């Protein structure tokens, strides 16, 4: 996943960034409620679904905040990265894009597999 991919994704999803945060908060609340108040089978299902339900919208929200072409924090004219040299800006954008990709894989694939196979 390149920074250009996340820039395009961020420009498409920037209008929905607060909805993404709402989904994350509702996912956390629902997971905590299911684990603390529900039966064991409901708690198990909630623990399996919690990773994708929380990680995917949060990663998309981070992509919107970091990579938006006009308002993103990691754009070339952004407050945090404008003073860095061009090579450092590019390296920072690549590191952020690789982090988001690994975060998506960990939340959407690895978390459910670990939660499903937990003893």
Burial of residue 107 (CB within 10 Å: 0-12, 13-18, 19+) is buried
Whole-number pLDDT of residue 97: 95
- What is the CB neighbour count within 10 angstroms for residue 111? 20
Burial of residue 70 (CB within 10 Å: 0-12, 13-18, 19+) is exposed
> Average of pLDDT values for 84-105?
92
Residue pair 92/44 in contact (Cβ under 8 Å)? The answer is no
pLDDT, the chain, mean: 90
What pTM does this model have? 0.88
> Average of pLDDT values for 34-41?
86
Task: Name the residue ranges covered by the structural domains of the chain.
Answer: 3-116
């Amino acid at each position: 996943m390149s920074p250009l991919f996340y820039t395009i994704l961020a420009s498409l999803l920037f209008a929905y960034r607060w909805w993404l945060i709402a989904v994350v908060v509702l996912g956390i609340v629902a997971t905590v409620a299911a684990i603390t108040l529900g039966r064991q089978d409901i708690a198990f299902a909630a623990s399996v679904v919690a990773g994708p339900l929380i990680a995917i919208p949060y990663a998309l929200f981070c992509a919107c905040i970091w990579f938006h072409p006009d308002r993103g924090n990691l754009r070339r004219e952004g407050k945090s990265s404008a003073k860095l040299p061009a090579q450092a800006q590019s390296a920072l954008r690549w590191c952020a894009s690789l982090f988001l990709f690994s975060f998506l894989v960990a939340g959407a694939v690895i978390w459910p597999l670990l939660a499903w196979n937990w003893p």
